[in-house]
Amino acid sequence: MLPFRVVDRVKFIVERQLVKGAGFQLLVVGIFIGLISLIGGMLVVPQGGEFEDAGSAIWWAFLRLTDPGYLGDDVGTWQRIVSTLLTVSGYVVFMGTLVAILTRWLIAKMQDLERGLTPVTLKNHIVVLGWTAQTPPLVAELFGSSGRMQRFLEKHDAQKLRLVVLSEEASAGQVHELINEPGVGRRAREVIFRSGNAIQPEALHRVACLDAAAVIVPSQVQDTGSLLTPDVGTVKALLSIAAEARHLGGSLPFVVAEIQDMRKLQVIERAYPGAVEVVAGDATISRLMVQNVLHPNLSEVYNELLTAGEGNEIYVRGGETAEGLTLGELASQRPHAIVLGLLHPGAEHRWQVNLMAPSDTVIRPDDRIVLLARDYAHTGPDLKAEALARIERAAGVPSVRTGSGLHRVLVLGWNRRVASLAAEFASYRDRRFELDLVSAIPMEERQQEIALYGIDLASVNGRLLEADYMVEEDLRKLDPASYHTVMLLSSDRIGSGEEADARAMVGYLQLEEILAESSSRPQVIMELSDPDNRHLLYGHKSEMLISPMILSHVLAQVALRRELRVVLDELFTVGGAEIQFRDPADYPLPASTDFRLLEKIVADRGEIALGLFREEPDERGRHLMMNPPRKQYLDIKAGDRLMVMSKT
């Protein structure tokens, strides 16, 4: 091996100093300036003249090196040559290098500030751990929940909403994305971004996680085949929060965590000893889709109740606001809301759901009241409004299911929710399904995913078919018109939500072309991943579910009122109360009916009237008329359906 040269050693030493940062770089430049001044001064000392000693000569050289204005003031050829060399060196070393170091240092500091590496000094704020497709609609939900948010802030003694988002790489592009999100706009500037990963303790400290009023952990998207599943990341984040609290001796914040595999629920509860509400993302969407199969047109109910914007929402109020009243008396005092039932406190801080409770049920202070209303203010007393006549409703009687024959379902596409979707179909043991799962993904890979979830496809007469629904010939061979329901799933194996939705929408248009040639038309349900695509298929004939918007709504509202989760679980799972569409001919309705009379007639069967589903859409393309004014005449026409809540 060749020996190192002295020059190489010097270069290596200089390099090690330069990589240490701006301070060391300035030190190295300062040393060079001193050496150049020393050499320049020694070169002119023999000239004598104005230089009394070596010190004055070195000072002369330093002035020529740092200030080019002295050029031309020197006398003598040698002195002028040295002065010129010093001035040129000053341009390169002093001005060029010094300015470059300071500029790079300033830019780096500005980038660090933009990335959000400084810990926030907030308390009772809301933290969102992760930037995903759900984050923008989640922020919109939090900003849009005015009444519920006001109560949340009062509970935590806060003046205004402070929202902190932890992202792996915070950038100005995320702010612009929030600005373009409906419901956020200019308020995007109020959102504080910090860089980091939720599984890093220093990142949790950066967002002041332990001082937060609520922490929301949306499920992160992982690459296909990655050993780090979204649920593993969620559990690690909860472990990190708990460890940080133990280390600092702080209290644990309230956490709303999204998981994909509901079987991890006990792991979550074991990992986080504090208050936590778990939202099963895949299971939630699967429940909604299966309910939509059982009750066609239910997607429009989801899009009103479970997304931000105009329309009704489900609210939960404390029982102390109506202590001692019966549900019938409370309903008569809430002319703009529909009372759905109660939550009773149970063992281990759990809630017993009692939707459609009898009207004579007395409200206790530790109960929670469940209401349907357009605004949070409508769930409270209105002294100016005229009280309604009381309606007595007995306990709900389970309805008799009709249409219990074989229901054939064709599922086009594949994502991680397919296994939970099959499990949800299997949970309806009183129904018979035939489930055909079609995808271009190799069958062995899909069989492995189904087996890992522990699903027996034979319980739903399930078959795995290998075909590409984007190929017209493959789609025609499937004969989609022979099925009762066709479901188009947005793939999670494509680079982005836009690309996945583009494939789903093109597949839908091709499906419509094939169905147009048939005399029978199945129910078509389409799932999208990107909320920005919800307006592209204007006038479509399918039912559309936008998964990120629904999950964002659930996460945001559960963070503001944790009891809401058990209400949604009750409504959209097998058993318990269910939203159904009924034929008006099944009820003794007079020729002219307002909504108050409809409520009374429906209550005689132990059910709750929610509204009307029109056969013909209105000018905005909406079929649903939920919670109309009590005195509004419904003008029920042929094909219209009553929307009620009943026992199953």
Residue pLDDT, tens place only, 186-210: 888 889 999 888 888 888 988 999 9
**What average pLDDT does the segment 396-418 reach?**
77
pTM reported for the whole predicted model: 0.79
Structure tokens at 102: 């300071």
**Is position 385 within any domain?**
no
The mean pLDDT value for 321-326 works out to 90
Q: What is the mean predicted confidence (pLDDT) over 486-501?
A: 73
Q: Which of 46-50, 95-99, 451-455 has the lowest mean pLDDT?
A: 46-50
**Is residue 131 domain-shared with residue 111, that is, in the same domain?**
no
Domain boundary among 46, 80, 115: 115
Distance CA 104, CA 93 (A): 16
Look at residue 436 and tell me if it is in a domain: yes
Look at residue 404 in the predicted model and tell me its pLDDT.
Answer: 59
* Of 148-157, 461-470, 473-482, 597-606, the least confident: 148-157
Co-location of 138 and 245 in the same domain: yes
Note the pLDDT of residue 486. 94
For residue range 507-527, what is the model confidence (pLDDT) as tens digits?
A: 888 898 899 888 889 999 988
Is residue 8 scored above 80 in pLDDT?
A: no
| pLDDT beyond 90 at 303 | no
Whether 587 is covered by a domain: the verdict is no
Last residue of a domain, one of 274, 304, 321: 274
User: Is 356 a member of any domain?
Assistant: no
SS3 166: strand
pLDDT of residue 47: 63
Q: Which of 494, 411, 427 is nearest to 460 (CA)?
A: 427
Tell me which of 183 and 336 has the higher pLDDT: 336
For residue 70, the model assigns a pLDDT of: 67
- Whether the pLDDT of residue 383 is over 70: the answer is yes
Domain that holds residue 534: 406-548
Whether 1 shows a pLDDT value over 50: the answer reads no
Q: 413 with 511, same domain?
A: yes
Checking if the pLDDT of 223 tops 80, the result is no
Q: Indicate if 419 and 505 belong to the same structural domain.
A: yes
- Which whole number is the average pLDDT over 307-329? 86
The answer as to whether 503 is a domain residue is: yes
92 and 172 within one domain: no
Same domain? For 435 and 486 the reply is yes
d(CA 24, CA 331): 74
23-37, 68-82, 324-338, 431-445: range with lowest mean pLDDT: 68-82
Residue 641 has pLDDT above 90, yes or no: yes
468 shares a domain with 518: yes
Task: Tell me what pLDDT residue 401 has.
Answer: 55
- CATH code for the domain in which residue 95 is found: 1.10.287.70
Query: What per-residue confidence (pLDDT) applies to 482?
Result: 93
Task: Provide the pLDDT for residue 177.
Answer: 87
Does the pLDDT at position 494 exceed 70? no
Helix H or strand E segment including 83: helix 77-89
Q: Examine the domain organization and report whether 110 and 132 are in the same domain.
A: no
Residue at 470 is within a domain: yes
Among residues 274, 297, 320, the one where a domain terminates is 274
| Cβ-Cβ contacts under 8 Å for 266 (sequence gap 6 or more) | none
CATH code (residue 188):
3.40.50.720
So what's the pLDDT on residue 119? Answer: 87
Same domain flag for 76 and 193: no
Residue 121 inside a domain? The answer is no
d(CA 467, CA 445): 14
111 and 133 together in one domain: no
**How many domains, the chain?**
3
Question: Is the pLDDT at 400 greater than 60, yes or no?
Answer: no
Do 440 and 461 sit in the same domain of this protein? yes
Identify the pLDDT of residue 536: 63
What is the overall mean pLDDT for the chain?
Answer: 83
Is residue 318 predicted with pLDDT exceeding 50? yes
CA distance 442 to 346: 47
Q: Give me the pLDDT at residue 405, please.
A: 82
Kind plus residue range of the DSSP H or E element containing 548: helix 547-560
* Mean pLDDT confidence for 55-81: 74
- According to the model, what pLDDT value does residue 381 have? 83
Query: In this structure, are residues 307 and 288 in contact, taking their beta carbons and an 8 Å threshold?
Result: no
Find the Cα–Cα–Cα–Cα dihedral 510, 515, 518, 519, rounded to 10°.
Answer: -160
Same domain, 92 and 144: no
Is residue 72 in a domain?
yes
DSSP bridge pairs for 127: 164, 215
Contact 25, 15 (CB under 8 A): no
pLDDT confidence band for 82 (50 / 70 / 90)? confident
Q: What angle do CA 307, 423, 138 make, to 5 degrees?
A: 20
What gap in Å lies between CA 235 and CA 213, rounded to an integer?
A: 20
351-355: strand order across its sheet: 313-318, 368-373, 337-345, 351-355
Q: What is the mean pLDDT of residues 628-643?
A: 90
Highest mean pLDDT among 7-11, 48-52, 99-103, 577-581: 577-581
Q: Distance between CA 367 and CA 384 in Å, rounded?
A: 26
pLDDT of residue 129: 92
